[in-house]
Amino acid sequence: MTYRFPDVAGLKALHHDELPHLAEEIRTFLVNKVCRTGGHLGPNLGVVELTMALHRAFDSPKDWIIFDTGHQAYVHKILTGRAAEFDSLRQTDGLSGYPRAAESVHDHVENSHASTALSYADGLAKSCRLRGDTDRHVVAVIGDGAMTGGLAWEGLNNLGASGDPVVVVLNDNGRSYDPTVGGLAQHLAALRCGGAGTNNLFQLMGLSYLGPVDGHDVVAVEGALREATARRSPVVVHCVTEKGRGYQHAEDDEADRMHGVGVMDPVSGKAAPSSARSWTSLFGDVITEIGAQRDDLVAITAAMLRPVGLEGFAAQFPDRVFDVGIAEQHAVASAAGLAMGGRHPVVCLYATFLNRAFDQTLMDAALHQLPVTFVLDRSGITGPDGPSHHGVWDMALLGHVPGMRIAAPRDADQLSALLREAVEVSDGPTAVRFPKANVGPSIPALQQMDGLDILHRSSRLPLDILIIAAGVTAPAALEAATLVEQQGCGVTVVDPRWVLPINPTLVHLAARHRLVLTVEDGVRNGGLGTALSQALADAGISIPTVNLGVPESFQAHGSREAILASCGLDGMSIAQMALSSLPEAVGNGLSSAEVA
């Protein structure tokens, strides 16, 4: 089917009677395209009319339209000339799943972490005022889920006091992934019903309020937006929408309204069956088993109960799981309080979102030596969600936290074992990290040595190279060991299990080899490799050490495997680096033909 959508100018020229048909076409397009590539379906189905109204009421790109989080910007991309690129959505070198300035002058903010738009808008409005620019509008589109984040309220607090003419479009669909929680959700429910009156929180904070408006009525939303701009002051336009609107499978999905989907059949709404097991679902089973054995164990999530695998735990122990909304800082500080009160909290976050709560991890959990366990889903390279979602900073950040212990399981058995070990720690924080991927085959240890697992040791060859593989880099390290052995070099592969702090036995093991390679799927500087190099130096051991990891640059979106290979973290690349770095390097290294 060929789709022809109007550009921004053409959209403004449409008669009101033509708008419903365009909205229907956009929804059909979204379902067909996103089901082929995967992506954020439900949020975009919910903002079709809202986005149409935005582009009719404002003049993008002259007017700044900032989408909070940005996963709901697909309709914006369609209307700004990128519909033809949707077959490449979230693919290598293809269309990003979030706003991206390199794609279009209509995109401004690339950071897809939630609750940021109001602060961006506050700064943009201030810059307009300082320049005397009165012919440019600043618009922030934020969901009720993102409004549960503390940063959103910091921005709102400043906007209300500034008097600057910012239009805050509150897209209220009652949920983020799951239903929105807390006092804000109750207040918005009252506003939707026409209640709250003089107790309207936004008005009390210094902003005008318009609404509630039917977010699926283009004319109504457009009218409210034009009225808001005419006020020349900060205004909240409260639009009520339905996540997954117009796609029956999403509307029927009460769990998360098909927030994010993989490749699936658009007719049945079902993904192809797979026997593969994800790390997330495996974690869910293990934490539920541990919860049945320990009634002091509690779980905390930041608006992602299902995405982090806690639905089973919540079903079995509803009083012991706490969804705090998109509020990672609060999640960690609250966990500290739970630990002070005698509980063992397990804070379940995407690794990329731990960045937001570093201060609380350092000063609230670690400083008090509290037993808080962090479970970091989607650690390392995540793939199609791009630079803001790669969880590559966690080890570098947590490695600076005194008393922090970090574990990285390589397979299902190790996830179970390491998580159980982590929640037994009572004198400080722990972290267990795993990727956005399916769990691979079990990798048994040949030998255990003071907490280390020896996965491979060459026989009848000298101890040339030690490869230290963190977590799920173990399969690539073992592949590299086979390739290196073919060149006549002896190789030992060890999984430290507890990656940081450095196990002293690892230092002694390194000293018995001619070359050490560390392999990790986090940023190279500040992680396992950096810590081992320092430990060797502190022990007075001089040995060539090569640290392999993710470069300190923002990695684009694409397949996880391709990005790892581009970072030199596949078996061939590891082997080539090992051979070329070995003192008195053997031969000329490996060619791709030798792998086949």
Catalytic site positions: 243, 328, 356
Query: How many beta carbons lie within 10 A of that of residue 58, not counting itself?
Result: 23
- 3-class SS at 486? coil
Question: Quick one: DSSP state of residue 87?
Answer: G
Return the percent helix, strand and coil in the chain, to nearest 5. 40, 20, 40
568 backbone dihedrals φ, ψ, rounded to 5°: 80, 25
Q: What angle do CA 299, 304, 310 make, to 5 degrees?
A: 45
Question: Quick one: DSSP state of residue 440?
Answer: -
Q: Where are the beta strands (DSSP E) in 429-487?
A: 430-433, 447-449, 452-457, 465-469
**CB contact at 8 A, 184 and 205:** no
DSSP codes joined into one string, 18-85: GHHHHHHHHHHHHHHHHHHH-EE-HHHHTTHHHHHHHHHHS-TTTSEEEESSSTT-HHHHIIIIIGGG
d(CA 100, CA 6): 21
**CB contact at 8 A, 531 and 539:** no
d(CA 411, CA 416): 9
167 backbone dihedrals φ, ψ, rounded to 5°: -100, 115
d(CA 412, CA 442): 7
- Tokens describing residue 244: 């997954």
The 3-state secondary structure of 337-377, one letter per residue: HHHHCCCEEEEEEEHHHHHHHHHHHHHHHHCCCCCCEEEEE
d(CA 296, CA 132): 58
**CB contact at 8 A, 391 and 113:** no
d(CA 287, CA 394): 21
